[in-house]
Amino acid sequence: MMSLIRNLYDWVLKWSESKYGPIALGVMAFAEASFFPIPPDVLLIALALGMRSKSIQYGLICSIGSVLGAVCGYAIGSFLWWNGVEQFSQLAQFFFNSIPGFSPDLFYLIKTKYEVWNFWIIFTAGFTPIPFKVFTVSAGAFDVNFIMFIIASTLSRSARFFLVSGLIWKYGKPIHVFIDKYFNKLAILFTALLISGFLLIKYLI
C-alpha cells in the first residue's frame, strides 16, 4: 500500500515539471470545493517543492480555483439539491451515499449551525480538514447570504493555501528532505487527517 502511495506521490510531483501542472492544480482545487474527495494540498505541495520560486503563485492558483469551486458547490445546492419542498434530488442522494458521515439528519443539523455561526462555520470548514464541499453545497441549499459566503470562502481558503505555499517558499529544502525521509509516516498521517475531517462534521457540529 505504501509503495502505491509513494508511486502516486512521485507521479504527482512530476506535475511540477509540466507546463500543465498549474492547470491541474486549479482544476483539482475547483473540484475539491464542490464534489471531489481529495484535497488539492498534495498537488500544491508537490508543485511548490518542485519549483519553490513559484510557491506563492501556486497558492494563488489553488485559492482562486477553490473559491470558484465553492461558487459551483453553492450553485449545486441552490439549483440541483431539491426536487420539491424539502424533497432531496437524486444528486443529493448521491452526495449522502458518497460522503462518509453525511446524512439528511446531519444536513439539517448544519442548517441550525448556519443560523448561529454563519460566517464562522464556513470559515472553519474552509481552513480545516473538514470537507469543504459539504458546506459549500449546504450553503446554497439553505440560501446562505452569498456575499458573506464568498468572503468567508476567500479568506479561509486563501489563508490555508498561502500558509502551505508560504512555508514551502521559506523553508522549501528542509521540508523536501523531511518529506522524503518520513514519507510513509506522513502518508498515514495525511490519510488519518482526511478521514478525521469527515468525522469532524459529525462530532463537532
Query: At how many degrees (to 10) do helices 55-75 and 41-50 cross?
Result: 160
The predicted structure's pLDDT at residue 182: 66
The predicted structure's pLDDT at residue 79: 93
The predicted structure's pLDDT at residue 145: 95
Q: How far is CA 35 from CA 3, 84, 105, 125, 179, in A?
A: 27, 22, 20, 14, 28
CA neighbor of 129 nearest in space, from 52, 193, 54, 40 = 193
SS3 assignment, position 155:
helix
The residue that leads in pLDDT, 144 or 204, is 144
User: Is the predicted pLDDT of residue 140 greater than 90, yes or no?
Assistant: yes
User: Is the predicted pLDDT of residue 151 greater than 70, yes or no?
Assistant: yes
CA neighbor of 59 nearest in space, from 203, 176, 170 = 170
The kind and range of the H/E element at 22 are helix 21-32
CA neighbor of 165 nearest in space, from 23, 51, 6, 74 = 51
Write out pLDDT tens, residues 76-134: 999 999 987 778 999 999 888 877 667 888 888 888 888 888 899 999 989 987 888 88
3-class DSSP string for 68-136:
HHHHHHHHHHHHHCEEECCEECHHHHHHHHHCCCCCHHHHHHHHHHHHHCCHHHHHHHHHCCCCHHHHH
CA gap 155, 10 in Å, rounded: 31
Write out pLDDT tens, residues 49-64: 878 888 999 999 999 9
User: Is the predicted pLDDT of residue 75 greater than 90, yes or no?
Assistant: yes
pTM over 0.75: yes
The residue that leads in pLDDT, 202 or 29, is 29
